[in-house]
């Protein structure tokens, strides 16, 4: 099942090199299902700064048939974003969820924290162009956004663009594999050509 998502921006700038109003993205709703007929499972999380945006994303995904688990927070009461980010990151890295979406005030803290978990490739995106490319080129598995930076309408377009894109493989697969190699090397405590340890 495909849906066409109107998109008035390209690379964050309206009308740059394209007739922006006619630009659209094909979104295969079930493109990431691992088994025929299985719902894609998506992990969500937010701190107080991203709570309202997370709620909008959750409703949006549930209406489209995704299986969603909310890892918190559950109100606008102040919390520490690393506590939420690590839960979602571990759930995605462990294979319990295909993808994750994290929101905080800017999206930056969530992104930094999630990328500390081995196997996570989190990307901060505030436009649909980057959302699509981070899936196609970087095989990102967690999307982060800032609830104090973008509004819910744009955020939902970003979510749709991200979920609708697929990793292209090829030369990009080689580069992602190099990221994994660096991650594994750092995880072992090795640094530099000689493999010295801290």
Question: Token pair 């994994």 is at which residue?
Answer: 180
Same domain, 102 and 126: yes
- How far from the centroid of its chain's Cα atoms is residue 157's Cα? 13
Q: pLDDT at residue 20 above 90?
A: no
In a domain, 29, yes or no: no
**Model pLDDT, residue 38:** 67
Residue 40 is classified by DSSP as P
User: Among 3-7, 86-90, 177-181, where is mean pLDDT lowest?
Assistant: 3-7
Arithmetic mean of pLDDT, 179-191:
78
Q: pLDDT at residue 193 above 90?
A: no
Arithmetic mean of pLDDT, 35-64:
90
Residue 39 is classified by DSSP as P
CATH number for position 49: 3.40.1400.10
Arithmetic mean of pLDDT, 18-45:
51
* Known active-site residue 198: no
Number of domains in the chain: 2
Q: pLDDT at residue 35 above 70?
A: no
Mean pLDDT of the chain: 82
User: Among 19-23, 31-35, 189-193, where is mean pLDDT lowest?
Assistant: 19-23
CA–CA distance, 32 with 38 (Å, rounded to integer): 9
Q: Taking Cα atoms as reference points, which of 123, 109, 115 lies closest to residue 89?
A: 115
Residue 118 is classified by DSSP as T
Same domain, 66 and 158: yes
Same domain, 54 and 152: yes
Most distant CA pair in the chain, distance: 55
Arithmetic mean of pLDDT, 63-79:
97
Q: Which domain covers residue 192, as residue numbers? A: 169-198
Same domain, 123 and 179: no
Same domain, 141 and 160: yes
Banded pLDDT at 169 (limits 50, 70, 90): confident
Catalytic residue of the set 48, 104, 111, 125: 104
Q: Taking Cα atoms as reference points, which of 32, 57, 76, 65 lies closest to residue 164?
A: 32
In a domain, 78, yes or no: yes
* Known active-site residue 137: yes
Q: If DSSP states are collapsed to H, E and C, what string results for 138-166? A: CCCCEEEEECCCCCHHHHHHHHHHHHHCC
Cis peptide before 176 (omega within 30 of 0): no
**Model pLDDT, residue 103:** 98
Q: pLDDT at residue 153 above 90?
A: yes
User: Among 85-89, 107-111, 148-152, 191-195, where is mean pLDDT lowest?
Assistant: 191-195
- How far from the centroid of its chain's Cα atoms is residue 188's Cα? 26
Q: pLDDT at residue 55 above 80?
A: yes
Q: Taking Cα atoms as reference points, which of 61, 72, 84 lies closest to residue 163?
A: 61
Q: pLDDT at residue 2 above 50?
A: no
């Amino acid at each position: 099942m495909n849906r066409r998502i109107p998109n008035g921006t390209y690379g964050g700038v309206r009308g740059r090199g394209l007739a922006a109003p006619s630009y659209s993205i094909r979104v295969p709703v079930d493109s990431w299902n691992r088994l025929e007929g299985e719902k894609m499972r998506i992990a969500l999380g937010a701190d107080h700064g991203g709570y309202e945006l997370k709620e909008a994303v959750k409703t949006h995904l549930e209406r489209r048939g995704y299986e969603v688990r909310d890892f918190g927070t559950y109100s606008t009461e102040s919390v520490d974003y690393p506590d939420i980010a690590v839960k979602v990151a571990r759930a995605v890295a462990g294979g319990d969820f295909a993808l994750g979406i994290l929101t905080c005030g800017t999206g930056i803290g969530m992104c930094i924290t999630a990328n500390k978990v081995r196997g996570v490739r989190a990307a901060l995106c505030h436009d649909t162009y980057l959302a699509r490319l981070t899936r196609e080129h970087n095989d990102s598995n967690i999307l982060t956004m800032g609830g104090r930076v973008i509004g819910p309408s744009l955020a939902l377009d970003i979510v749709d663009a991200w979920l609708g894109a697929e990793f292209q493989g090829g030369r990009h697969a080689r580069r992602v594999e190099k990221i994994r190699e660096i991650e594994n090397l750092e995880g072992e405590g090795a640094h530099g050509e000689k493999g010295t340890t801290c």
